[in-house]
Amino acid sequence: MKPSNKSRRILAVFAHPDDETFLAGGTLAKYAARGWGVFLLCATHGEAGRRGEYDHLTPEQFARLRQQELEAAAHALGIRRPLFLDCADQQLARDCWASATQEIIRAIRRIRPEVVVTFGPDGISGHPDHVAISQIVTTAFWTADLTSVLPVESSDLPPFAPSRLHYVLRSASVPQCCEVKASLEAPPLTTVIDIRNYSVRKLDAMRCYQSQKHLQPEDPSVVESILREPENFHRAVPAWQGPAVERDLYPQSASTLPPSNAAEPILKR
C-alpha cells in the first residue's frame, strides 16, 4: 500500500468485511475515480459471520474466505488493497483496543489522509465491534499528532493530524435487516454524497460477499434505491455549522495539499 504525495487521501476504517461497501462503497469508489488514494483498514476478518452452507469451514478457513471477498470488493470499488488489523470478530472492545489504536495511529502517520471515515458512536446498529471501532478511530484521529501517545519510531513516520473525520450513517443500501444490539442515537446528517455514477460499482462490490447472502439486495425496488440514492455521513470534525448539508467530503476550497516530508511512505504491517 503506497500512498502518493501527489493526491489527496482517504483512510476508511471499519470493523468487518462488507461494512465499507454497504455503508460507503459508492463514496469510496467516487473518490478513487477522482484520483484520491483510498485506503481501507478492516479490524477483523468477520469470522463470526459463518452460517448455512459455510458451517463446514473452520473459523480460519472462513476468515480467509471473507478476506478474499473484501479484496474482491475493494477491487470492484477501485480502491487500494485492504489491510487487516487481525482483531478477533466480536471481541474488538475486549481484546484489541490498545493494539488497534496504535495500528491506526501508525496508519494515519504513514498514509497522511486528509479525511478519515468510520462508524459513528451509534455503530449504525449498536454492534459492539462497530461502536468500539468508532471510539478507537476517533481516539487515533485526535492523537496521531501526539508523540506522547505513540512515540515516533522512525523518521519516516512523523506525527500527523488529518483534517476531517466523517461518520457513516444509514442510507438506501443499509436495509433494516440488522439486529439492533444497543439503542444508541445516530449523529445528525451533515454530508450527502451523490453516488449515482458509482452505484453499479457498489452493487458489484456487494455481490462479492456471497458468504453474506442475507445482506444481498434481491428486491428490485431495493436495488433501484441503491442505484439512485446517496450515501449519508455526519461530519464530526471540523464541527458542522449548517444549516444546509454539504455534498463533498473535502471541498476543493478546504485547503491546499499538505506538505509532504516523507518521499513515498509505504504502509507496512
Chain residues binding Zn ion by CB under 5 A are 15-16, 19
Q: Choose between 20 and 114: whose C-beta lies nearer to Zn ion.
A: 20
| Least separation in angstroms between CB 160 and Zn ion | 27
Closest by CA position to 216, among listed 9, 85, 44, 22: 22
Closest by CA position to 140, among listed 95, 92, 97: 97
| Least separation in angstroms between CB 259 and Zn ion | 36
User: How many other CB atoms are there within 10 angstroms of residue 86's CB atom?
Assistant: 15
| Least separation in angstroms between CB 177 and Zn ion | 12
Q: Choose between 191 and 212: whose C-beta lies nearer to Zn ion.
A: 212
DSSP-derived secondary structure letter, 216? S
| Cell representation of residue 13 | 476504517
| Least separation in angstroms between CB 220 and Zn ion | 25
Q: By the 8 A CB rule, do 42 and 15 touch?
A: yes
Q: Choose between 67 and 163: whose C-beta lies nearer to Zn ion.
A: 67
Q: By the 8 A CB rule, do 110 and 268 touch?
A: yes
Closest by CA position to 25, among listed 168, 128, 125: 168
Q: Choose between 136 and 144: whose C-beta lies nearer to Zn ion.
A: 136
Give the helix, strand, coil percentages of the chain, each rounded to 5.
40, 15, 45
| Residue in the shown chain whose Cβ atom is closest to Zn ion | 16
| Least separation in angstroms between CB 174 and Zn ion | 11
Q: Choose between 59 and 242: whose C-beta lies nearer to Zn ion.
A: 59
